[in-house]
Structure 1
């Protein structure tokens, strides 16, 4: 008998209002003989419940929540030699992985779409001793985003991140980084932002890295070139509309499977952003785990 552990983060407030668990259980019952339900209560629960799913002899681990919840689930699954299959419903602000996989962002649409499913191979990234599903960002802009206040996030959503990021771009002169890509040293780079992406969608921009695929076995490295903030702002906006940010004149773009990043500038204070949350400080070592997971997606 096939089984699925359903884990819901109730912090969105939609559980009681919309009867969320009943709706999702009804959808999952079309694919699994046995479903167990758990709710997260604190940070780290979505990762810890992976062990419970294994103990219950489940085939699939399915989470409902924002990007942080999905990241926790992937951190739990990626540690397994033979991971359980994975599924999720997006309930966050950005939902880049859902965008990249073609999972609708509206709850009712996603439930309908997942009534007919297939299993998609999914790469997972590793950064130092943790894992990521979508993007690692480094520099003054991600640092500002890390410290965007909860009040501004609640009031302005994604635009709060944009505001703080653009303020950092205007007010900072950048850090100097040393990067090794697949063992080859790149020229020293002074920049306000470095991105390492696994999917085409970054920060809800669905063609940030136009040729990235969720199972291409590659890390996609984008580095903002040193230029003035007005030029960056104008070209970035144009390329957002064109859907080809990785090919912008003020962006250097590389692809590889292993990246090392260090800096001579106060390295211990340079904080990364991993899937939207604060991550480790330098030095950083990133690698790709090709097709590490199988994820539930709508059948075309």
Structure 2
């Protein structure tokens, strides 16, 4: 029997996951997985370390149950390994951007678990980070720099739990009045930007802060970041851009916005002021920082039949994934047998 390890954060969102954990386990058991659970602790990177341990122990499926921060830790735990297990997401956080991108139900944790029964998966791009100031090695959704990007880690966890998305909106209204541009050089595949910017965003999916039109044409598995740079703007111009981004996505054509696709991005501060980097909603370190897109690096259980065709280049069913892995293991075992046979001769 295949094995699944659920790694869950008991304090995510409105802290409801504990009440339905037995039902979630039952879903995976019925899907053919011998299922066990790990509750994260207050120790730093608890979820990351457990994900790595479980992957090295040969688990077939690792389920990240919590908010985007929990998903990020699990991604960091297994992305550096040669053999990476299948991943699933149970969205128990506040915004659940990644579950939105994977088309996982976000209003019912049991239904989210049942997506495993669809037998659909997708190989997702993952961002790799290089910097001596980085706290994380990988990210799966967004990398951001600028005052607005500090929003997610400036909202206290207690407010996130009590007031959910309203807490972000309240904090955002406060931050926008004190936005200041930062001098920076940004290098990407086809060129560079040098000047002052209010916001720098690298997106791997089209779901950013709960909105799907900020990077409307993002593809999940094409090996490219969507790079969005908001040039120096006043408050009126910023409000106009935000309105366009929330309504129809027409901000990407505005003269104050640089909007390109790139497999690699390098961010270099041009002042002595520390430039904080937000990775998947958490503080990720200080620039300078380089980003590389690892194409189709991790396989996720997803509701791919609900995805728009332009959002992906390739999707696989879980059966196809398992068959491919079995074929690879068979070829590897055959090579080893032939090698041993020659030695014995």
Answer yes or no: same fold by TM over 0.5. Answer: yes
Alpha-carbon separation, structure 1, partners of 2:240 and 2:178: 17
SS in 1 for 2:26: helix
- Shift of residue 29 of structure 1? 1.7
- Shift of residue 32 of structure 1? 2.7
- Identify the match of residue 276 of structure 1 among 275, 281, 285: 281
Match of 2:323 in 1: none
Match of 1:160 in 2: 167
Match of 1:135 in 2: 142
Match runs of 1:1-300 below 5 Å = 1-12=1-12, 13-16=15-18, 18=19, 20-42=20-42, 43-106=44-107, 107-128=109-130, 130-182=137-189, 185-267=191-273, 269-298=274-303, 300=305
- Shift of residue 248 of structure 1? 4.2
- Shift of residue 122 of structure 1? 0.7
- Shift of residue 208 of structure 1? 1.7
Q: Which moves more between the two structures, 29-38 or 117-126? A: 29-38
Instruction: Write out the 4+ residue segments of structure 1 that deviate beyond 4 Å after TM superposition.
Output: none
Alpha-carbon separation, structure 2, partners of 1:159 and 1:15: 21
Preserved contact between residue 24 and residue 111 of structure 1 (Cα < 8 Å) = yes
Alpha-carbon separation, structure 1, partners of 2:295 and 2:9: 28
Preserved contact between residue 6 and residue 38 of structure 1 (Cα < 8 Å) = yes
SS in 2 for 1:188: strand
Relative to the length of structure 2, the TM-score reads: 0.79
Task: Tell me how large the CA RMSD over aligned residues is.
Answer: 2.1
Residues 231-279 of structure 1, C-alpha deviation per residue, up to 9 Å, x if partnerless?
2213321331214543445321011111111112125x11111100111
List alignment gaps of at least 5 residues for structure 2: 131-135, 306-345
The aligned length equals 296
- Shift of residue 104 of structure 1? 1.0
Q: Which of 1 and 2 has greater Rg?
A: 2
SS in 1 for 2:32: coil
- Shift of residue 140 of structure 1? 2.1
Alpha-carbon separation, structure 2, partners of 1:292 and 1:84: 11
Preserved contact between residue 145 and residue 165 of structure 1 (Cα < 8 Å) = no
SS in 2 for 1:74: helix
Relative to the length of structure 1, the TM-score reads: 0.90
CA 263–21 in structure 1, closer or farther in 2 if over 3 Å, else same? same
Preserved contact between residue 94 and residue 160 of structure 2 (Cα < 8 Å) = no
